[in-house]
Amino acid sequence: MASQPKLLKMNKQEKVDFGFCMSILIPIMLLFAFIRFIPIIQTFVISFFKKSMIRPGQSFIGLENYIYVLTDTEFIRSLKNTFLITVFSMSLSVLGGLFLASVVNSGRKLMKLWQALLFLPVIVSLVPSTLMWKMLFDYNIGVINQIFNVFGIQSINWINNESLVTVPIIVVSVWKEMGYNMMIFYVGLKAISRELYESAALDGVNHWQRLRYITIPQLKPITLFVCVMAMIKFVKVFTQAITMTSGSQSSGNTFKTLVYYIYQQGFSLHSMGRASAAAMVLLLIILLLTALQMRLSKED
């Protein structure tokens, strides 16, 4: 309504431009409505209904789905698993990425080549990555158990045990994320002015002091940012978990994560209401992390 007078005041060129913009934006916004806005709102609404994926009909049940989900031991376990993976994968991949970036940034010979090779896992998709590591962690023929055997440690059945399978899942996640974090830190390190280092060199500062008093403080904002980005990614962990525990060896052992729980409630148990309530929990966590990230980037 408010735009009506403005539209009338437009000259001919402005009207043509407006028509052009709308002819592009209206189809795009419609598509967004159907594949983003409406499903997002529906998730919120359905989380208050008892609604089946396969049978028609629905009934309003208030907070019952939330109560069911939040008191479900399976859900609590999936939250715990997700938390474990997020914390370990984030800290290891951020530390590793920071370390690799600082070595790559030293400008030694062949560093460009090593950097490209270190980046490779980022472009490898998750399923092949997980399957590769699954083979390395195999009970019978896996390289990792064989290395353990050399040191006199008995073979460990990594995949078959619900708590042990966390290890290969974290390893895959770190393996895939480290190169990505390396690139972001690398860009950040490049941005630190050379003059800072040069004047420090004149003062006879050693490597450790340089790291402690220049690099780390200068990189603090970007480090916080990378941590939150990694957390947002790992809270959604699913592919690694389902691939690592599917098929042989796992003997029905499933490693539930938050997204796995949503998937199972929705597509195996056909309960749209419970799946939506769990999805709202995921959404809430991600939005909190995003708000944190925005606050951090405003402080810069």
Partner 1 sequence: MSTASKHKFTLFDIVCLVIFFILLIITLFPLYFMLITAFKTPAEINQVPVTIFPHEIYMGNFSKIFHDEFFLRYFLNSVISSVIITVVSVIGSALAGYVFAKFKFPLKSVFFYAILATIMVPFESFVVPLYTFVRNLHGVNTYFGLVIPSIISSFGIFFMKQNMEQIPDALVEAAKIDGAGNWKILRTIIMPLSVSSLSVLSILLFLTAWSDYLWPLIIATSQKMFVLEIGLTLLQDEYFTDYGQMMAGCAVALVPALILFIFFRRHIMEGIAMSGIKG
Residue closer to partner 1 (CB basis): 74 or 99: 99
Told to check if 243 binds partner 1 by CB under 8 A, we report: yes
Least distance (Å) between residue 73 CB and partner 1: 22
Indicate which single residue of 70, 84, 131, 192 sits in contact with partner 1 (rule: CB under 8 A): 131
Residue closer to partner 1 (CB basis): 98 or 166: 98
Of the listed pieces 69-77, 82-90, 160-168, 260-268, which binds partner 1 according to CB under 8 A?
260-268
Told to check if 279 binds partner 1 by CB under 8 A, we report: yes
Indicate which single residue of 48, 49, 186, 234 sits in contact with partner 1 (rule: CB under 8 A): 186
Told to check if 139 binds partner 1 by CB under 8 A, we report: no
Confirm if 275 and 63 have CB atoms less than 8 A apart.
no
Indicate which single residue of 61, 84, 167, 183 sits in contact with partner 1 (rule: CB under 8 A): 183
Rounded-to-integer distance, Cα 4 and Cα 225, Å = 42
Residues with Cβ < 8 Å from 213, sequence gap 6 or more? 200, 205
HSE, side-chain direction, 13 A CA sphere, residue 27: 5
Segment 83-122, which members bind partner 1 (CB under 8 A)?
96, 99-100, 102-103, 114-122
Of the listed pieces 61-69, 75-83, 160-168, 233-241, which binds partner 1 according to CB under 8 A?
233-241
Told to check if 52 binds partner 1 by CB under 8 A, we report: no
Beta partners for 51? 58
Residue closer to partner 1 (CB basis): 166 or 222: 222
Told to check if 133 binds partner 1 by CB under 8 A, we report: yes
Residue closer to partner 1 (CB basis): 115 or 173: 115
Of the listed pieces 9-17, 63-71, 81-89, 161-169, which binds partner 1 according to CB under 8 A?
9-17
Of the listed pieces 62-70, 77-85, 137-145, 213-221, which binds partner 1 according to CB under 8 A?
137-145
Rounded-to-integer distance, Cα 67 and Cα 64, Å = 5
Told to check if 153 binds partner 1 by CB under 8 A, we report: no
Confirm if 169 and 240 have CB atoms less than 8 A apart.
yes
Told to check if 272 binds partner 1 by CB under 8 A, we report: yes
Residue closer to partner 1 (CB basis): 136 or 170: 136
Name the token pair of 187: 């860009």
Indicate which single residue of 7, 63, 216, 269 sits in contact with partner 1 (rule: CB under 8 A): 7
